Chains A and B, each alone.
Chain A
Amino acid sequence: MGVIGNWFKERLPLSGVDLAELTNEPVPNHMRRWWWCLGGTPAYLFVVQIVTGILLAMYYQPSPETAFESIGRITNEVSFGWYIRSVHKWAATLMIAAVVLHQMRIYFTAAYRKPREINWMIGMCLLLCTLLLGFTGYSLVFEQLSYWGVTVASNICDTVPVVGSTIKQMLLGGEAYNENTIPRFFILHAAVLPTLMVMLIGLHIAILRLQGISELQFEDEPEAGPKHFDFFPDHLYTELIVGLVLMILLSVLATLYPAGMGTHADPLTTPEHIKPEWFFYPSFLWLKWFPGTFAVLSSGFIVFVMFVWPFIDAMICKITKRDDIYVWIGIAGVFMLVGMTVWEALH
């Protein structure tokens, strides 16, 4: 062991103590509570997605003629194919839920305020990337929902003034769904968006480490005493336990509710009952309520407001001389999103 250790030490001048110091950061005491570890949860699920996604890509064939059949083969013939695909699907669902919960925790504790505005905006980019990964993911199956989801999404792009038509053509690789479309969505899902996410997550964590985690003081915590604990190994153990629980949860969900196969895409028939995945229910309902261009532009405006929220919040605080208005706006927003999701789920 000593010989091997020395061999490495001669080539990598970094001791275990150095490594611990480099990776260590003081973690605020509130992170000892389980519900305050939501940032690591989507990161762990993202790793699960990369591993299962690479495995699925070994068998998936991205073309209109072969996509549906190859997923059928993964699900029904390949050893543990059903499990890998179901874990991929459930981890996507949980990842979106975890990202939303993490964002809510940041919002309601006002952790986006100065000096953390940039990290909030990077977080917004990560939220959008996660949603796009979810959308491009279920578009690859080439079932009815995939085909009509892509058709509707490309026509949503088309309603954007000036650049809409170009974006639609670039996305589809033609004027309508064609043989170029699935390869484009596959490249977006398996290469472009994950690479972008890796870079954004790296930046997100780097800024977090530079600024430190925003600190919260709970009423039941003593004023005196240490305010922090070590990342290594204390918080790492917490994250390992979270990861283990997630793997158990994913396996249970994948076994009890495995990913199924819908009906093969039919460009001539839109099914009588068609809905996107649950995380798009609010935008689906929004599109039903309002005519095309207004619905799309107003959705874009809402996303823009979320994006620059730290600056809007600072202005609200300055004008009203109150710093709790964001809570009421947040509660209204959450009620609206949850209400729209539940409404659409029940109808």
Chain B
Amino acid sequence: MKDSVMTSEAEKAETPPVGGDDRRSFIARFSGWWMGWGLVSGYGYFASMIVRFLYPSSQSENKNKSWQFVAEVNSFKQGDSLTFISPAGDKAVITRMGMKGSEADFIALSSVCPHLGCQVHWESSNNRYFCPCHGGAFDPKGKPTAGPPKAAGQSLPHFTLKVENELLYIKAGTRSLV
């Protein structure tokens, strides 16, 4: 056994490496790369499983929009407003601006500030919606008038409304059960 090792050592010393690399170092390098690839792909797949575990499943966030009843049209006087919260958590402030009896009388604005998501509230003394977090302000139609939303041109999002048989409906998010 010892002799054969010595022989191979002697042979190696006599034979110069071809192309600067011999078979043994090639196998060592190849197996090193192969093992490295195995480690990276194995732990990489494990990491991707962790990310997918932490990422909320799309099923629980399944959100569709549908028409939802708000109130009887006649229960609103001009200038009246109410806050509507849909089953999916959409928050809207609905205000009556006219008395024609159609959806054009109403405006439904999201009460979520488009800057960083705080709740705006109506300031009747200043005739504006105001966000207390970073001082954003919006006119009664939701257009930005001050603060970061004005600089970025971010209006309060509108919801679509319709009137049927003197009943007011809003198109807002629902959460499906399946």
Which residues of A are in contact with B by a Cβ distance under 8 Å? 148, 151-152, 154-156, 159, 166, 169-170, 172-176, 180, 268-274, 284, 287-293, 295
Contact = CB atoms under 8 A, between A and B. Distances in A.
A293 B154 CA distance: 12
Interface string B80-102: 00010100010100000000000
A268 B83 contact: yes
Residue of B61, B148, B149 contacting most chain A CB atoms (<10 Å): B148
Contacts of A156: 116
Given A273-B132, A292-B148, A152 B55 contact: no
Nearest to B56: A174
Query: A-B pairs with the 6 shortest C-beta distances?
Result: A291-B152, A270-B119, A155-B117, A155-B116, A291-B151, A270-B118
Contacts of A271: 132
A329 B10 CA distance: 67
A166 B118 contact: no
11 contacts: A148-B118, A151-B118, A155-B116, A155-B117, A268-B119, A270-B118, A271-B132, A274-B118, A288-B135, A291-B148, A295-B148
Nearest to B136: A288
B147 A288 contact: yes
Contact of B132 (A175, A272, A284): A272
B156 to A, nearest CB: 14
Interface string B41-61: 000000000010011100011
A148 B133 contact: yes
A152 B118 CA distance: 7
Given A172-B56, A175-B61, A270-B132, 16 more contacts: A148-B133, A151-B116, A159-B116, A170-B55, A174-B60, A175-B63, A268-B119, A270-B119, A270-B131, A270-B133, A272-B132, A273-B132, A274-B133, A291-B149, A292-B154, A293-B152
B54 to A, nearest CB: 5
A273 B83 CA distance: 21
B134 interface: yes
A172 to B, nearest CB: 8
Q: How large is the interface on B (under 10, 10 to 19, 20 to 34, 35 or more residues)?
A: 20 to 34
Nearest to A154: B117
A292 B113 CA distance: 12
Contacts of B89: 176
Contacts of B147: 288
Nearest to B83: A268
Nearest to B54: A170
A291 B120 CA distance: 17
Contacts of B51: 170
A166 B55 contact: yes
Contact of B91 (A166, A268, A288): A268
Contacts of B158: none
Contact of A269 (B60, B119, B149): B119
B15 to A, nearest CB: 46
B82 to A, nearest CB: 13
A172 B54 CA distance: 10
Contact of A268 (B54, B56, B85): B85
Contacts of A289: 148
B141 interface: no
Contact of A274 (B60, B115, B132, B148): B132
A152 B132 contact: no
A290 B148 contact: yes
Nearest to A166: B55
A177 to B, nearest CB: 9
Nearest to B152: A291
A177 B151 CA distance: 27
Residue of B54, B120, B131 most packed against chain A (CB within 10 A) = B54
Given A152-B118, A169-B55, A269-B119, A288 B134 contact: yes
B119 A287 contact: no
Contacts of A293: 152
Nearest to B134: A288
A292 B132 contact: no
Contact of B56 (A169, A274, A284, A295): A169
Contacts of B151: 290-291
Query: Which residue among B61, B89, B117, B148 has the maximum number of chain A CB atoms within 10 Å of its CB?
Result: B117
B60 to A, nearest CB: 7
A41 to B, nearest CB: 33
Contacts of A273: 132
Contacts of B152: 291-293
Contact of A152 (B60, B85, B117): B117
A106 B63 CA distance: 51
B90 to A, nearest CB: 10
